[in-house]
Structure 1
């Protein structure tokens, strides 16, 4: 463990985890989990912008999350560990476990003298075949999101969703239209690629998505063949094909180059018709990299935890429901944003 000396610290504080104005803090080890303000040492669950921020002196993540974190944050001091590998800091044991959210995402297990906490970050139970599949971790204290923590959110199996997406693409191709499908540059875009039927036609990608794809492919992770949208491509090549776009690019001049399009949006928010209208989509496909209502409850049950801390989403409603189940549940104010934070930055949008 010599390569982890940056994370070794000694302190006399006895609290295991506490919630501060900088993030989730372990005073005994003097480290933060997914801090939103600059700190000396940060343990990062995954690469989305609300969990992985610039300005920390040292970062620790999983091996498979590391490349995209460095791509997004630039020249940072980053060390990585494997899933299940234990790092002990001043007697506190830390380990990363698959969260199933995106490639490299992790829950962070924290143990000291028999007391076990798990900070789950963002997670989903459905195995998408691309991310490392979620693994429940037993604990007494569980920190959870509730991005879709309302009973109305109940996902259709992903196989059915992808069948609908591919049928939509085929129908558009038959009419000579370009199918423009939106998904966040990190996570959702790669999951969509994994489920698309590339025998229907060619798949073109927005620059922000393709940049992320290149980072992921360089790790040895296979993705379907894609073509970066560029000025060199003849507009006559697009009809019948599919363009994978970031949501933010839809309202930009970039979208006009494709001519007659059918716009599809893939998101958990597509459960509600109003969300589809706000995004101007012809079709909404309900596909999320977060848990729905039943999966959130299942995940909490699998941990065996009696103490639940709800950090973002429908925190008040979800924590109140957990209390009716006999759990000690509280909602907490954090700067995590769930699926909203997975929107690309303005800078990424301009990379198209």
Structure 2
């Protein structure tokens, strides 16, 4: 009995006739989180966690047919018990648990195991089969604590401010940007948001997510007010005309890919901070072991390397799934 199948449209549960994060238009789509590689346009009906609701409408259109659930709430569909559980990736991110005739499968979407103080922390769910990302599924990926990273970010900003320079930090507009904003030391100066990030903030606030409210960059703000401030912008703003209003400035990038030597140089940024909303090598292993799953399906990332480790060292049966999920894109494009 297979509770989950990989089809040309995405991951499919035949018993409930639902798709999880499909990449082609289908009738019924359960969405793990609102990043664009998981929440795509064109579905007849969507189901997600309620913290994803307004962001999905912002990105996909107010007219979408959307039903929402809370964590731990359950729904029965053709005998399949479906429930959502915290993934810790971004606000509203969820693991999808499917139970049918004594068998349980969990589709994790994207996740991280460190509590970011913004998202509901990841909770491992016992299951027979577990679908896991492995974006950073290699031993070289080992994150410092969030506290250490933000100490470095705030020190960088403070130094720039003391020299009369503005600081522009590039981060995904959904999830990472709000995480950064919530942990900045506001005693250093003001913080401003690019329009794409400000709009996302408003959508999350409307759903009850606690995001520090900051002003949006606009033409009415005099250039002198930006002196020594922090501006949070999506990667798409790098090198754009929009950046000229902040001169003189220093740029920084927040991404797990900053762990790789040379990544910052290739993007021509002044600073790189290893801040990811995905689990590192140890986080992936601990999360998977905690599920006690007999079989693990691996999507996007270092699936071959990580799968071999699970098979040979942890003695867990691992299978690679070829999906269209991207995880944290190494090109740092906004998602």
TM-score (norm 1): 0.92
Q: Which residue of 2 aligns with 1:128?
A: 116
Q: Which residue of 2 aligns with 1:350?
A: none
> For 1:294-333, what aligned pairs fall within 5 Å after superposition?
294-324=282-312, 325-333=314-322
Equivalent in 333, 337, 342 of residue 326 of structure 2? 337
Q: Which residue of 2 aligns with 1:66?
A: 53
**Unmatched tracts of structure 2, length 5 or more:** none
Question: Helix, strand or coil: the match of 1:291?
Answer: coil
Tell me if 1:54 matches 2:41.
yes
Say whether the 8 Å CA contact 1:203–1:225 is kept in structure 2.
no
In 2, Cα distance between equivalents of 1:235 and 1:26: 54
Say whether the 8 Å CA contact 2:131–2:296 is kept in structure 1.
yes
Q: Which residue of 2 aligns with 1:156?
A: 144
Q: Which residue of 2 aligns with 1:42?
A: 29
Q: Which residue of 2 aligns with 1:26?
A: 13
Say whether the 8 Å CA contact 2:51–2:209 is kept in structure 1.
no
Cα deviations by residue, 1:7-30 (Å, 9 ceiling, x for unpaired): xxxxxxx63111111111011111
Q: Which residue of 2 aligns with 1:266?
A: 254
Cα deviations by residue, 1:310-345 (Å, 9 ceiling, x for unpaired): 011111111111111211101110000001298337
Give the C-alpha shift of residue 279 in structure 1. 1.6
**Unmatched tracts of structure 1, length 5 or more:** 1-13, 346-352
Equivalent in 212, 215, 218 of residue 203 of structure 2? 215
CA RMSD of aligned residues (A): 1.2
Say whether the 8 Å CA contact 1:179–1:240 is kept in structure 2.
yes
Question: Helix, strand or coil: the match of 2:19?
Answer: strand
- Cα pair distance change 1:170/1:73, threshold 3 Å: same
Say whether the 8 Å CA contact 1:183–1:266 is kept in structure 2.
yes
Tell me if 1:201 matches 2:192.
no
Question: Helix, strand or coil: the match of 1:19?
Answer: strand
Deviates more, 1:30-39 or 1:61-70: 61-70
Give the C-alpha shift of residue 237 in structure 1. 1.4
Q: Which residue of 1 aligns with 2:279?
A: 291
**Superposition misfits of 4+ residues, deviation over 4 angstroms:** none
